[in-house]
Chain A
Amino acid sequence: MRALHVRRGRVLDPASNTDRELDVVLSEGRIVALGAGLAAPAGAEEIDARGMLVVPGLIDLHAHLREPGEEYKEDIASASASAAAGGFAAVCAMPNTTPVNDTRAVTELILERARAVAGVRVYPIGAITRGLEGQALSEMAELREAGCVAVSDDGKCVASAGLMRRALEYARTFGLPVIQHAEDPTLSLGGSMNESVSSTRAGLRGQPHEAESTIVARDIALVERTGARYHVAHVSTQASVWLVREAKRRGLPVTCEVTPHHLTLTDEACLGYDTLTKCNPPLREAADVEALREALADGTIDAVATDHAPHTPVEKDLEFDHAASGIVGFETALPLVLALVASSRLTLAQAIERLTAGPARVLGLPGGTLAAGAPADVTIVDLERAFTPRADTLRSKSKNSPFLGRAFCGRAMLTIVGGTIVFDGRAEPAA
């Protein structure tokens, strides 16, 4: 493998408080040197990063890669290409595949496929309960040994308080964080959007935001007893943010993530019955969006995670209440977060931290920093680059994004994983 010499970029590494023009040298899968005017190692490929931002490879805590089982929507190869094009060097794969990733064999299959694709790093997340059925605990020791980095029943909530208590205790035994999809099904009742005056206008069944926050409150009480590492997936409400902030203040091992779409859109986007706006948790109200942005800036929210959820027109070109929930997110996440920087809701350092060191810390993953000795995962970003995502340019097999056609400024130009370039957008025309 040739060494890479990334020259004269603005190196922004929140983990080491670095923000200045530096060279970065990558060799043998590691970052070997960081400094001004470094000499190029013999035979190194030079990457001219002048005018660009050089950051740790982005890490996504929450994605649905659809393999095994739903390869017509996405597979590990297409997901990897899509993630790399979005600047992600690593993605966590949720277990709601077919079969469910609740056994060593499925975890191994996913890792085997990821190795064959040789794109971005794939970290499998195992199921909390067998078959995601919310009944019996999965074999967490085996899942951990096979390579799972956390457990989650994502897509479904562990609704039973008793089961959740045991899941937290058991997962703690093996050092596995527990990621909760917080949604009390007796409150959400399968509602297809947020419950508010917008759902009243649209005549769509809504889920109240308390469906999320009551579970977060309950789980935090259980964390207090069990001491387990608990992470709330895709927080979407003001009350959830308050609860997590208070739990952190009390020193509990609680973290959370937010999606770019919950930071950007409100439930009014659903008024036209565009099923591309249907997601779960649903888009919420302006006060929630405001609270999420504040919480992302103040660190209550540890990470931006995409909840990349590919669906085809087969699932989306249906009546709103029958359409599948989900939005593809890899290729629009960074531009959407940079838009918050442009509108002064976040500093650039905060934005990058929540996409790198933040998610790495949540699950204890390698990477997320450009310190010498760290994995050679690097993303090079052009903050000035005009970018308009379109169905025909998305790498994902699925095109279910409400952001198609939106004009962005800033995108990933180069994604490097373990010292290998897995995405190179430098030759692409700006669009």
Chain B
Amino acid sequence: MTARAFPHRHLLGIAQLSRDDIVTVLDLAETFIEISERPIKRVPTLRGRTVINLFMEPSTRTRMSFEIAGKRLSADVVTLSASGSSADKGETLIDTARNLEAMRPDAIVLRHASSGAPQMLARWLERAIVNAGDGQHEHPTQALLDCLTIRKRKGRFEDLVVTIVGDVAHSRVARSNILALGKLGARVRVAAPRTLLPAGIETLGVEVYDALAPALEGADVVMALRLQKERMTAGLLPNTREYSRTFGLSARKLAAAKPDAIVMHPGPINRGVEIEPDVADGPRSVILEQVTHGVAVRMAVLYLLVGPSPAEGAAAGA
């Protein structure tokens, strides 16, 4: 492994990364994909390192992906799932975090319902903090795995048209992807009913569309976002039927995209709401590839943040 050039102690968001930092992660992740294809899916790189996954919001795929990533690098991985806000639980986030730090982990991977929670941890603690999704703010490893998937399929980012469809207002996945794809040189479009677009989104360098058809015109990549049921109860949409009719991805609507356009979704998918089953399972879909790449990207992130320093590697004769 070459000496790492990743000038960050934490992965808090895509906002803090440069284009080169993102490419560093993607390059390293690409080399890690192969480890997961081996019969013995484990390398000793992070032997003796401890990673705590602190998941304070329900998650299946991201939690398991981080666990598997740590284990494939031989780290000791401990996962603590605690739902509910710190306030409900009686112990504050700062107290939880300080207790975990006292056990001397090398990294804490945090999933939290409050935007900014990983930033607070990074202020309070000495450990490497990895943001595994904070509120409606960022989900940087999801964006990185999405970028890896796009790069493997398309070979480049420059001049690619990426259309993000759906609940951008409440989506940390959308925020991280808008930032990452912008830095990598892609053209990002967003399409959603106005009730699901956040204030000032157009100033973040994206093109905003009220209708799906023109947003899909000539797209290389189409990314559907999950639609939460709460959006109906909050009065942002009349019902899922109208949503799927106007902004759900169907094979018919996707005909406007480029013939080789790929379809992505961060999961879990609501079949028949934001994406039709024949699209989710169809030839354009790379949804399961995204999941595979998630493990590789998280291995790369853990390696870059808590892996052996170049000096350490040399001393061990690696």
A positions within 8 Å CB-CB of B: 195-206, 208, 272-273, 317-322
Contacts and interface: CB of A to CB of B under 8 A. Distances in A.
- Listed residue (A195, A198, A203, A318) with the most chain B CB atoms within 10 angstroms of its CB: A203
A319 B93 contact: yes
B167 to A, nearest CB: 13
Nearest to B139: A203
A208 B135 CA distance: 19
A200 B87 contact: no
B86 interface: yes
A317 B200 contact: no
B119 A272 contact: yes
Given A318-B86, A319-B93, A322-B87, A200 B115 contact: no
26 contacts: A197-B204, A198-B200, A200-B201, A201-B15, A201-B175, A201-B204, A202-B115, A202-B137, A203-B116, A203-B137, A203-B138, A204-B115, A204-B136, A208-B199, A272-B119, A273-B119, A317-B94, A319-B85, A319-B86, A319-B93, A319-B114, A319-B116, A319-B120, A320-B114, A320-B116, A321-B115
Contacts of A322: 85-87, 114
A317 B114 CA distance: 13
A366 B34 CA distance: 80
Nearest to B202: A197
Given A198-B200, A273-B120, 4 more contacts: A204-B137, A317-B92, A319-B93, A320-B116
Interface string B237-270: 0000000000000000000000000000000000
Interface string B80-119: 0000011100001110000000000000000010111101
Contacts of B201: 197, 200
Contacts of B172: 203
A203 B200 contact: no
Nearest to A319: B114
Nearest to B94: A317
A202 B136 CA distance: 8
A204 B116 contact: yes
- Size class of the contact patch on chain B: 20 to 34
- Listed residue (B117, B199, B201) with the most chain A CB atoms within 10 angstroms of its CB: B199
A58 B85 CA distance: 42
Contacts of A199: 198-199
Given A273-B119, A273-B120, A321 B198 contact: no
B203 interface: yes
B200 A200 contact: yes
Contacts of A319: 85-86, 93, 112, 114, 116-117, 120
A10 B71 CA distance: 74
Contacts of B199: 195-197, 199-200, 206, 208
Given A202-B137, A203-B135, A318-B93, A197 B114 contact: no
B134 interface: yes
Contacts of A208: 199
Interface in B127-149: 134-138
B103 to A, nearest CB: 21
A204 B135 contact: yes
Return the 4 tightest CB-CB contacts between A and B, nearest first.
A197-B200, A203-B137, A273-B116, A319-B114
A320 B200 CA distance: 21
A320 B115 contact: yes
Contacts of B15: 201
Interface in B160-208: 172, 175, 198-201, 203-204
Contacts of B120: 273, 319
A89 B54 CA distance: 50
A343 B228 CA distance: 49
Given A203-B135, A319-B93, A196 B115 contact: no
Nearest to B234: A189
A272 B12 CA distance: 12
- Listed residue (B92, B115, B175) with the most chain A CB atoms within 10 angstroms of its CB: B115
Contacts of B115: 202-204, 273, 320-321
- Listed residue (B114, B134, B175) with the most chain A CB atoms within 10 angstroms of its CB: B114
Contact of A196 (B119, B138, B200): B200
Nearest to B169: A200
A202 B198 CA distance: 11
Contacts of B92: 317-318
B204 A200 contact: yes
- Listed residue (B138, B172, B200) with the most chain A CB atoms within 10 angstroms of its CB: B200
A399 B135 CA distance: 28
B175 A203 contact: yes
Contacts of B87: 318, 322
B96 to A, nearest CB: 11
Contacts of A203: 115-116, 134-138, 172, 175
Contacts of B135: 203-204, 321
A199 B200 CA distance: 9
Contacts of A198: 200
A197 B203 contact: yes
A206 B116 CA distance: 14
A321 B137 CA distance: 12
Nearest to B116: A273
A198 B200 CA distance: 8
Contacts of A273: 115-116, 119-120
Contacts of A200: 175, 198-201, 204
